[in-house]
Structure 1
Amino acid sequence: MSLIVTPFGFSSTAAQVAQGVDLTGRRALVTGASSGLGAETARALAGTGAAVTLAVRDVAVGERVAKDIAEATGNRDVHVAHLDLADPVSVTAFTAAWQGPLHVLVNNAGVMACPEQHTEEGWELQFATNHLGHFALATGLHDALAADGAARIVVVSSTGHQQSPVVWDDVNFAFRRYDPWLAYGQSKTANVLFAVEATRRWADDNITANALMPGAIYTNLQRHIEGRSSGSVPVELIKTVEQGAATSVLLATSPLMQGVGGRYFVDCNESETVDRRTGTLHGVARYAVDPDNARRLWTLSEELVANAG
């Protein structure tokens, strides 16, 4: 299976990859859309004419962003809804309230390298927010996605997934000493595995899911990192928010991605599978696209979500 190559790359912006795309009459949902990549992704989707819902924890901030997007794009069909991905009750309420079809779901929200925290269910916070919350959201919205007949799920992962596979016997760091980067890496691996299995499991519904690495961008995601440092990433590899959102928007809107699923993209192009850490922002670990791992994670996630609350 050859890698998918597009005309876009590192410097492409969200607006550029969405240029000429008309999603009038379609509905899109973006999590974590009150700032950073989520807000820019929502802006680009609104620019295509889609009706866009910003799923956010802080509704007041979300309303300000929605107003800005509406004014900038001329699209008044921009809405805000409360969603706390770390709270199963919030996710269930959100999915129960959703009405009608959903054409594009962008699983964008996330936390990174935060101090050790666990939810009331005992879930490690990064795994709970970055993976389990989005898993419950997507499965809860399955019928809405299936109603479209060609829905797309976009999953924002990270090259950080190369830090750790899913550690099946201790996903919640109940026995391991907590390491914020290993926890982050595990959650980002889970993001890729979700895209692999959702595409396989929901093939008959023509729902496709792809994962991506947006690049190194300064956003609120780095709030737990002293000095908001990008670590060893060279300055020339730092992207603007507009560039960082490009791959998400490409996967959500481009005709080139029609029917494509279960893959991992960097800089608007599919990335190669690797067996060792690359030391770069490219490459998807083989364990993150392994179909057996993907099925195992789905089963584990179903059990955890079913037992919540």
Structure 2
Amino acid sequence: MPALAPFGTDSTALEVVEGLDLRGRAAVVTGGSSGIGVETARALAHAGAAVTLAVRDPEAGRRTVADIRSSSPGATVDVRSLDLADPGSVVRFTDDWSGPLHLLVTNAGVMMTPELRTPQGWELQFATNHLGHFALTTGLHAALAAAEGARIVSVSSSGHGNSDIVYEDLFFDRRPYDAGHAYGQSKTANVLFAVEATRRWADDGVTANAVMPGGVWTGLQRHWDPEALAATKAQVAALGLTVKTPAQGAATSVFAAVSPLLEGVGGLYLEDCRAADVVPAIVDGLHGVRDYALDPVSARRLWEVSLALLAGS
């Protein structure tokens, strides 16, 4: 990938697709009814892709479809139900899919939740952000391979800097629960997934890249303590850090999905529409990628652990 991409911090998702023709391509965007998911879906549909919003709340999805069609008349958008924390829901989604799938944006997620577990005993953030998307993507592998050049976009976060994968205690069974560490672990998993998916599936024409949207205030922060959220917003303003709009936050996801610069390229962590620098600590809370998130040995281990967990669910 060239060092200088034509887009950057201020670019919007619609700017990224300008001049591109995605007609004939099928796309799935998880969490496509809120936040940057809406703007990701809007841009892909605007450029002609047939976009499926995979959402937990179908009614919210239908409102988003109407919104996208109002801004892009003639857009091809539909809604399908998907609860990433429920393995049965994921299987129903993958079993119902037919035809090639060219673009899969695993965008949905939860952040900083209280200590919650799925019926399988899995910590909710890891279950939703990683295991659900892992099951979805592996379940759609045949459809991705059939597209002959499919791309997966794994939406991660600078929050991955909070934690590597703690294989000895994935679900906080033996250590005190820490919402930030749980979120960080799940976001590290999103990057490792892109690394290993590309290694395993590149011969099938399938590549995956992880992305950091940037600092965006959305409903993702709804589980934060209100005082902590207010203090963080005040600190961001005082430091003059860039806060993106959802349309700007979606730009890197869309760039990873459609840019000719990434044809056949995978296993990267992208921010501001470019490959991030590997850093010893996340810069200003937003920039850079930790080396453990790109570790191919850990990526293989996580894949096998994930397969085993899902097999036993």
TM over 0.5: yes
TM-score normalised per structure 2: 0.95
Asked if 2 retains the 8 angstrom alpha-carbon contact of 1:21 and 1:254, the reply is no
Asked if 2 retains the 8 angstrom alpha-carbon contact of 1:30 and 1:53, the reply is yes
SS at the partner of 2:136? helix
Q: Deviations over 1:9-52 (max 9, x none)?
A: 10000011111111001000000011111011000000110000
Q: How many residues align?
A: 307
Output the aligned Cα RMSD: 1.3
The answer to whether 1:302 aligns with 2:301 is no
- Percent sequence identity over aligned pairs: 59
Asked if 2 retains the 8 angstrom alpha-carbon contact of 1:3 and 1:270, the reply is no
CA distance in 2, matches of 1:236, 1:272: 18
Q: CA deviation at 1:72?
A: 1.2
Instruction: Give the equivalent residue in structure 1 for 2:131.
Output: 132
Instruction: Give the equivalent residue in structure 2 for 1:33.
Output: 32
**Closer, same or farther: CA 264–117 of 1 in aligned 2, 3 Å:** same
Q: Deviations over 1:244-267 (max 9, x none)?
A: 000001111111111110000111
Instruction: Give the equivalent residue in structure 1 for 2:63.
Output: 64
CA distance in 1, matches of 2:75, 2:247: 21
Q: Deviations over 1:145-183 (max 9, x none)?
A: 000110000011000001000000000111110000000
CA distance in 2, matches of 1:27, 1:168: 35
CA distance in 2, matches of 1:252, 1:299: 26
Q: Deviations over 1:49-103 (max 9, x none)?
A: 0000000001011011011112211234210000000000000000000000000
SS at the partner of 2:210? strand
Letter in 2 for 1:189: T
Asked if 1 retains the 8 angstrom alpha-carbon contact of 2:46 and 2:75, the reply is no
Q: CA deviation at 1:236?
A: 3.8
Q: CA deviation at 1:4?
A: 4.0
Asked if 1 retains the 8 angstrom alpha-carbon contact of 2:158 and 2:282, the reply is no
Instruction: Give the equivalent residue in structure 1 for 2:264.
Output: 259
SS at the partner of 1:55? strand
Q: CA deviation at 1:279?
A: 3.7
Asked if 1 retains the 8 angstrom alpha-carbon contact of 2:85 and 2:128, the reply is yes
Instruction: Give the equivalent residue in structure 2 for 1:250.
Output: 255
CA distance in 1, matches of 2:246, 2:284: 23
Letter in 1 for 2:278: T
Asked if 2 retains the 8 angstrom alpha-carbon contact of 1:3 and 1:271, the reply is no
CA distance in 1, matches of 2:134, 2:196: 11
**Closer, same or farther: CA 102–203 of 1 in aligned 2, 3 Å:** same
SS at the partner of 2:27? strand
Instruction: Give the equivalent residue in structure 2 for 1:79.
Output: 78
TM-score normalised per structure 1: 0.97
Instruction: Give the equivalent residue in structure 2 for 1:289.
Output: 294
CA distance in 2, matches of 1:59, 1:226: 28
Letter in 1 for 2:183: Y
Letter in 1 for 2:88: V
Asked if 2 retains the 8 angstrom alpha-carbon contact of 1:214 and 1:244, the reply is yes
Q: CA deviation at 1:117?
A: 0.2
In the alignment, structure 2 segments of 5+ residues that lack a partner are: none
CA distance in 1, matches of 2:97, 2:248: 30
CA distance in 2, matches of 1:161, 1:252: 21
Instruction: Give the equivalent residue in structure 2 for 1:276.
Output: 281
